[in-house]
Amino acid sequence: MAVITPSRRVRRTPFTQGVEAAGVAGYTVYNHMLLASQFRGLVEDYHHLKKYVQIWDVACERQVQIKGPDARRLVDLLTPRDLAAMRPDRCMYIPVTDQNGGLLNDPVLLQVGPDTYWISIADSDLLLWISAVAACKGFDVNVTEPDVSPLGVQGPRADDLMARLFGETIRDLRFFGVGRFAFQDHSFLIARSGYSKQGGFEIYVEGEENGMPLWQALFDGGADMNVRAGCPNLIERVEAGLLSYGNDMTRENSPLECGLAKYVSPQKLTSCFGWRALAEELKTGPKQMIRPVSINGTVPSCDRPWPVLAGGRQVGQVTSAAYSPDFDTNIAIGMIAASHWDAGTALEVETQDGMRQATVQEHFWI
């Protein structure tokens, strides 16, 4: 496969030096930045993540900062989720919808100061949408991309490693809890969150110059824990049903189709983008939905959508797939029509290597 040619349009991160020294074996591009895709191989990285602790360069999770007197009004307009429970010591997962109720992004929202919010985005140019909305609505805000680069610490030993650097109180953070913790002469916002089900944290590193000192300190602190550089792992995320924006869902899909109905609040459906379409869909139900699918045989790399068929008619598509060593089956994420999404439904999946038998599952594997 061809390699990625470096350019200023594909940015390095504050941690790229450490990622390269750790022997990165592959990259993808995410929000115009480098994102490692594997180090010692997909399967070895997967087993290590489930047993030890990894440091992830996820600086590509760029922040959109909204600051100003109208910041909360603007944030409320962007999402159908009720934000009444939003506070500085909690972050929230929010779907962001367009005027048709389509999903533009599924970021994490943080309140980082008075009238100041960070939206930690998935892979789409959400800053441009938010800037346009602010300008067209005349909101008194400044929308920028701050010098903030998340660093993930993921895996069963994540608490132990983080406690060594930031103190024992970091263990008290609940899931999606947020706090500021001191490191050397700085303090960083840290959330108990991350793109895996193995447990961990995301450190919002303010200041590019602080990236490598923190990276090195984490490796020094975890030397006896078999700490390694890592990255979001395809096998582990499909097992867990963690969706990838731009891959498993796009703006052609609604939050309900993506299984995010609990983040669509009926009381918000007069005041957010796409409220008419979302209100109608809440009444009628989605026509298709993300479902876990097991696939027989051997499967190639799922680098393109695979049509899902029933009786020779397309009833969906598979967008992510991998072989799971722990569950000894090919696991997949599919967008499946309501007529065929029930658990146990037999389907066929058309891969680039031929047709495979498949079955809709009751739930994801983790």
SS3 per residue for 290-343: EEEEEECCCCCCCCCCEEEEECCEEEEEEEEEEEECCCCEEEEEEEEEHHHCCC
Q: How many whole angstroms separate alpha carbon 252 and alpha carbon 273?
A: 15
Domain membership of residue 213 (yes or no) is yes
Residues spanned by the domain of 130:
63-144
What's the confidence (pLDDT) of residue 8? 87
Task: Say if CB 345 and CB 359 are below 8 A apart.
Answer: yes
Helices (H) and strands (E) in the chain, counts: 8, 21
Ranges of the chain with pLDDT below 50: none
In a domain, 269, yes or no: no
Q: Please give the Cα distance from 195 to 56 (Å, whole number).
A: 10
CB of 316 closer than 8 Å to CB of 359: no
pLDDT digit string, tens, across residues 236-275: 999 999 999 999 999 999 999 999 999 999 988 889 999 9
Pick from 218, 98, 206: which is nearest to 164 by CA?
218
Cα(169)–Cα(289) distance, integer angstroms: 40
Single-letter code of the amino acid located at 34: L
**Is residue 174 domain-shared with residue 29, that is, in the same domain?**
yes
Beta carbons of 314 and 262 less than 8 angstroms apart: no
**Residue 31: strand, helix, or coil:** coil
Domain with 336 in it: what CATH number?
A: 2.40.30.110
Q: How far apart are CA 319 and CA 333, in angstroms?
A: 6
Same domain membership, residue 183 and residue 56: yes
Q: What is the dihedral of CA 270, 275, 278, 284, to 10 degrees?
A: 60
pLDDT value at position 49? 98
Q: Are residues 38 and 74 in the same domain?
A: no
Query: What is each CA distance from 14 to 203, 207, 221, in whole angstroms?
Result: 13, 9, 19
Residue 315 identity: V
Q: In this predicted structure, what is the pLDDT of residue 13?
A: 98
Asked whether residue 281 is assigned to any structural domain, the reply reads no
The length of the chain is 366
45 and 105 both lie in a single domain: no
Tally of domains in the chain:
3
The closest of 67, 62, 84, 68 to 13, measured between CA atoms, is: 62
- Nearest Cα residue to 162 out of 133, 216, 203: 203
Q: Phi and psi at residue 345, in whole multiples of 5°?
A: -65, 130
Element (H, E) at 61: none
Token pair for residue 84? 């009444």
Q: Do 104 and 165 belong to one domain?
A: no
* CATH code where residue 95 lies: 3.30.70.1400
| 178 plus 223 within the same structural domain | yes
pLDDT recorded at residue 7: 86
**Domain containing residue 200: CATH number:** 3.30.1360.120
CA 145 from chain centre, in angstroms, equals 18
Q: Which of 85, 119, 144 is the last residue of a domain?
A: 144
| 279 within domain boundaries | no
Assign residue 320 a region (left: φ > 0; alpha: ψ between -120 and 50; beta: otherwise): beta
Which among 306, 264, 305 is positioned nearest to 281, based on CA atoms? Answer: 264
- Which pLDDT score is estimated for 60? 98
In a domain, 243, yes or no: no
Taking only Cα atoms into account, the Rg of the chain, rounded to an integer number of angstroms, comes to: 21
- Residue 11 domain-assigned (yes or no): no
Last residue of a domain, one of 144, 179, 212: 144
**pLDDT of the residue at 1:** 63
Are 196 and 170 found together in one domain? yes
Question: 53 and 192: one domain?
Answer: yes
Judge whether 87 lies within some domain: yes
Full-model pTM: 0.96
Domain assignment present for residue 230? The answer is yes
What is the rounded end-to-end Cα distance, in angstroms, of the chain? 31
153 and 233 in a single domain? The answer is yes
Q: Are 42 and 50 in contact (CB under 8 A)?
A: no
Return left, alpha or beta for 277; rule: phi > 0 is left, psi -120 to 50 is alpha, else beta.
alpha
Contact status, residue 142 vs residue 67, Cβ threshold 8 Å: yes
C-alpha span between 80 and 334 (Å, rounded): 24
24 and 161 fall within a common domain? yes
**Cα dihedral sign for 173, 176, 178, 181?**
positive
Query: Where a domain ends, among 144, 175, 190?
Result: 144
Contact 362, 349 (CB under 8 A): no
Question: Do 189 and 214 belong together in one domain?
Answer: yes
137 and 157 share one domain: no
